[in-house]
Structure 1
Amino acid sequence: MENIDFLGLLPCALKVPFQEALGAYVKELEKCEDVSTLHYSLVGNANNGLSFFTELKEKNDLNVLPDMIMAPGFNSFYYQNIINKCKESKSIQASVPESMNPLWLDLDLIDPFNLYSVIGFNPTVLLVDRTNDKSLPLPEKWSDLLEPEFEKKLAIRGSNPTKEEKKIEFCEGILLNTYKDHGEEGINKLGKSVNWSLHPSQMVKMAGKRGEGPSISAIPYSFAKLVKCNENISIVWPKDGAIVNPITLLVKDIRNKQSKIMNDFLFSDEVGELFVKIGFPSIHSNKNHKLNDDTSFKWLGWDFIHENDLAKLKPKLNDIFLQSYMSK
């Protein structure tokens, strides 16, 4: 990642509008003679960033990082070896605005070690489709999905990292939160409930169609709101909260001139409005995070992250889940 000032590994819904806004910002910057070109790279679909995180994990070296990187999910930033490397660094420091969305304090999203900035998050909700099963009860909270009545009813995000790799990787946010609340037994039960491994766009396309589609999809809200709800299709916001999938910013040295320029863009009103329009709550203070009147959120928590090495826990939970998922 040499000569890259900013790398953005972006959720699908964010890629195009973010690219357009950043492109316009850079074009304005280039009109100023005293501002050098800002070099950046944007990658859509979080799975496309897996090779980058594999390199970071294997080399255990922060030098593979660009000056600034923004990435979704519980990626390698949240692995103990990388957290420790960041702690040892004398220049890495969280970039947090003086005034921020009060939700960040309510959910305790501020990194206690002042290394990372969660600048927004992608909430996961439930899309319930009773087109093929009118008798299906509405789940009220995440734990309901572990009950026998929801066996083989659920779809969650899953993907194959590479064409050569056949092993499916399932949504880490759902697996980690299920394990936190219900242990390995909960992961086993969840595996029995899940019958589809899909991209969110596939969940949207299958909604309302007669046949063998999922009755319930655990789906990012940004995709769920694209579905036209009716008497059979509804978005359920779990009472215990939509799962928080963080969008994390790591800055190697905020004193760097280019990092300061990029930082100004990331914490601008324009980016805050962009996040909220898509359906991502943002750290920006003047943006309304209330996507619905009764929204609440479920954050994994810094204590859990620091007490568990996610580099080991994530593949372990994925294997336990996969065994249960494939045994049906």
Structure 2
Amino acid sequence: MGDINLKNLDLLALLPCPLKVPVEIAFENHLHDGVCSENSVLNYIIEGNANKQISYNQQVEEYTDIESIPDITITSGINSFYYKSFRENFVEKGYFYDALSPRVNSIFSDSGIKDSEGNYTIIALNTLVMVADMKALGDIKCPCTWKELLRPEFEKKVAIRGYNDSFCETTLLTIFKQCGYEGIEKLGRTVKYGWHPSQMVKMAGSGRNGAPAVSVMPYFFTKTMQNKKDVKIIWPEDGAIVSPITMMVKKSCREKLAKIIDFFTGDKLGEICAGAFLPSLNPEASNKIPKGATFNWIGWDFIKERDIGSLIKELNNIFIESHRGKL
């Protein structure tokens, strides 16, 4: 995190890569418009989450007091802020509040994505869809749902986000919720590659040997594909998997940082997210998703009733064992 002391940090934003630059520019303009007085200094970091997310998640797990946490923190995915220890030590003690207005964008009316207990501020979603390489797929029928992706004919024909021995937590949790441990084992057998989505984009429709028949990637990455002739983007019938972009806002900074909070819950940020194909909860955002598309969110009850951190580790281990043919 550089030389900045996290203890004195007003804002830490670890953003999905397409948001980093436009949000940073818009936020700096916001500050220059007189948000901060000459006598006050805002200590903040805006980073791409790919650079810092893993190390920061580990740091979150070591927090012992609320003062260690930045006043406003923005992160992606089901991360340490959702883990049992953080929830018990901080969330359930009422340190945070949902800074977004009760009214959300109409596309989320039935999604259940807004925290009914008012602790987490979900500002936008990274949505995961499937991309089928029609040549690599051959005679195999395209999957229309996440459960269909687990069919035996997809064995070693699928790519999901993964790095070393860590694989996409929202994919694992969604498959587990729908299909249990058996579903995680089946997913392990179907997956051939754990890649960064940029690798999937390069291979999809390329005609190269070994190209995955189906890649599970963020919807915004599908907009960067060059070889579109032989690919099919599939927004699953049971909904795109939801990876939330979460803002944790301390109640204690509600007045002091009101104009900063307004920026991250306001129309400008909503349009930046929508323009980057990351659907925004802002009610005025012009989100760019297919008509009738739905969202596959694991749900707040699922999170609150489990030790999510331990479950992610368990599912990851089962997936890896199956992936390597040891189950």
Q: Same fold per TM (> 0.5)?
A: yes
Contact 2:189 2:323 in 1 (8 A): yes
User: C-alpha separation between the residues in 1 aligned to 2:238 and 2:271?
Assistant: 26
- Aligned with residue 293 of structure 2, among 282, 292, 295: 295
Structure 1 SS opposite 2:136: coil
Q: 1:195 to 1:88 in 2, by over 3 A?
A: closer
Contact 2:105 2:281 in 1 (8 A): yes
Who is 2:203 aligned against? 206
- Aligned with residue 23 of structure 1, among 28, 44, 50: 28
Match for 2:168: what amino acid? C
Who is 1:179 aligned against? 176
Cα displacement (A) at 1:84: 1.8
The answer to whether structure 1 residue 9 and structure 2 residue 14 are counterparts is yes
Who is 2:101 aligned against? 97
Deviates more, 1:223-232 or 1:318-327: 223-232
Determine what percentage of the aligned residue pairs are the same residue: 38
After TM superposition, the score normalised by the length of structure 1 is 0.91
Cα displacement (A) at 1:34: 5.9
User: C-alpha separation between the residues in 2 aligned to 1:229 and 1:2?
Assistant: 46
Cα displacement (A) at 1:235: 0.4
Deviates more, 1:40-49 or 1:6-15: 40-49
Q: Aligned residue pairs: how many? A: 320
User: C-alpha separation between the residues in 1 aligned to 2:116 and 2:249?
Assistant: 16
Alignment of structure 1 residues 174-323 onto 2, 5 Å: 174-209=171-206, 210-228=208-226, 230-253=228-251, 255-289=253-287, 291-323=289-321
Contact 1:127 1:233 in 2 (8 A): yes
Who is 1:165 aligned against? none
Structure 1 SS opposite 2:135: coil
Q: 1:85 to 1:112 in 2, by over 3 A?
A: farther
Q: 1:98 to 1:189 in 2, by over 3 A?
A: closer
Q: 1:88 to 1:173 in 2, by over 3 A?
A: closer
Q: 1:202 to 1:45 in 2, by over 3 A?
A: farther
User: C-alpha separation between the residues in 1 aligned to 2:144 and 2:268?
Assistant: 35
Who is 2:325 aligned against? 327
Match for 1:270: what amino acid? K
User: C-alpha separation between the residues in 1 aligned to 2:56 and 2:229?
Assistant: 44
Who is 1:83 aligned against? 87
Structure 2 SS opposite 1:287: coil
Cα displacement (A) at 1:255: 4.2
Match for 1:245: what amino acid? S
Cα displacement (A) at 1:132: 3.4
Contact 2:205 2:228 in 1 (8 A): no
Alpha-carbon displacement from aligned partner over 1:95-144 (angstroms, at most 9, x marks no partner)? 12253213344111221221111111100000111233432321110001
User: C-alpha separation between the residues in 2 aligned to 1:220 and 1:8?
Assistant: 19
Deviates more, 1:186-195 or 1:102-111: 102-111
Contact 2:49 2:75 in 1 (8 A): no
Contact 2:76 2:243 in 1 (8 A): yes
Structure 2 SS opposite 1:126: strand
Alignment of structure 1 residues 124-203 onto 2, 5 Å: 124-160=128-164, 168-203=165-200
Gaps of 5+ in 1: 161-167
The answer to whether structure 1 residue 39 and structure 2 residue 43 are counterparts is yes
Deviates more, 1:49-58 or 1:239-248: 49-58
Q: 1:47 to 1:105 in 2, by over 3 A?
A: farther
Structure 2 SS opposite 1:212: coil
Contact 2:61 2:80 in 1 (8 A): yes
User: C-alpha separation between the residues in 2 aligned to 1:320 and 1:260?
Assistant: 44
